[in-house]
Structure 1
Amino acid sequence: MTSLAAFGAAGLLALAGWRIGWLTPGGAAAGWLIGGTVFWRAGPVGAVLLGTFFISANLLGNLRARGGRKRTAATRDARQVLANGTWAALGTLILPAAPALGWATFAGALNAAQADTWATELGIARSATARLITSGRPVPAGTSGAVTLAGTLGGVSGAILLSGIAFSLGLSLSLASGALLGGIAGMLADSLLGATAQGRFYCEVCQAISERRRHLCGRTGRWEGGLRWLDNDGVNFLATAVGAATAVAWARLW
């Protein structure tokens, strides 16, 4: 796929995401950059895999909202898009020089984002309570670092889906299985980082703990624990890196 066609197609998809309400203007711009890079370097296979993640993640979020479960944000902004897609896009950039390394990085990172998103959306939609991955203490579903059976099974299912599509489109068994392991590893890393390192801020207006310094009401929260600089987007960025590294390690061991 030529660069012009790739970025043109990505622009249309990003525009559609903005018009539907899935992306903010900044999120659409970031999506155009990530999508154009993937479409250009990874071709139709990369486009199908990225499109599967993008569409399924937003459809699950809409289903959760229709079921009465409030989403943490109505649309995805640039930081969220870049946090989930940067490592996958970087993987495609090294494809000409190192195809196996590039595909492993791309598929592992993208599947980590897929598994974590499915786990979050299905966990909140199907469960009112969850348990912290570190201590097992009951907490409300959606709390950073918390897991549910429904969410975990959903995340694994999402990882299996994307890995299966990758294999059916021509990726080798070692790359597809590495992507599956990367997805699961990234999902677990996200929960562990969320429970131990992610910053927590108390909003006095909403009287709730938030993972973001600036709460949805617009008020800046008071720091309660964790690393001040590590928000949910930072955790997602690190979790997708874990997914990529896991897939690369598996491909080298295969």
Structure 2
Amino acid sequence: MALYEQSNILIVEDDADIAAMLVELLTDNGFTAQTVANGAEMDRLLRFHKFDLIVLDGMLPGEDGFSICMRLRATRSIPILMLTARREDIDRILGLELGADDYVTKPFNSRELLARIKSILRRASFSRREEEVSGPLTFTGWRIDPNSRQLFDAEGDEVSMTTAEFDLLWAFCTNPNKVLTRDQLLSMTHAGSAGPVERSIDVHISRIRQKIEPNLRDPAFIKTVRLGGYLFAAAVEKLP
């Protein structure tokens, strides 16, 4: 059985024809899927059901998908695939910056959409299996727990992270004071599936910096190495 089979996917799409097509596509390929037409219906369903991934239309009536994505990221780490008619690069980057794990434009190729969904689910599953054998780490008062996939600041408050962000930060914490190229980070985290490798890695790192760096103009933790990549310049220790 493939690792993505029986994964439960929530589709947030107001176009009934597209929603029905997505349900058929996903169920024919081993997933279970449910649909809602807007953010309010999504919120009600999330109170009572667990989902492994959300396919989120960007152009919804009322609260649009970009706003919903940002709101979800404030409290949840569930993988999000943005699905939208916006084709400009700036919209793709905006989706990633707001916390989406991947971004597909309409009209889309069904095989590509399935490949991206499977990639996101593989990445999440791989990360969980790999991290179950490791314990939490700490750096400068911060604590990162690979088992619960949570990040806590020096005051003990949880900081929301996307799957890609957590994977990247964990890669840095397990390789402190080493220069890691973008290709190395990609191979460690599978974080580049949303677009060109360099751009995707850079966008995710920018989001991590916004969450952990005391001074964005002079990062203390994740330092850019010219023509090299990035270096995590913090003392990392294992917690008992």
When the two structures are superposed, what TM-score results if normalisation uses the length of structure 1? 0.30
Q: Using CA pairs below 8 Å that are at least 6 residues apart, which structure has the higher relative contact order?
A: 1
When the two structures are superposed, what TM-score results if normalisation uses the length of structure 2? 0.31
Which structure carries more strand by proportion?
A: 2
Which structure carries more helix by proportion?
A: 1
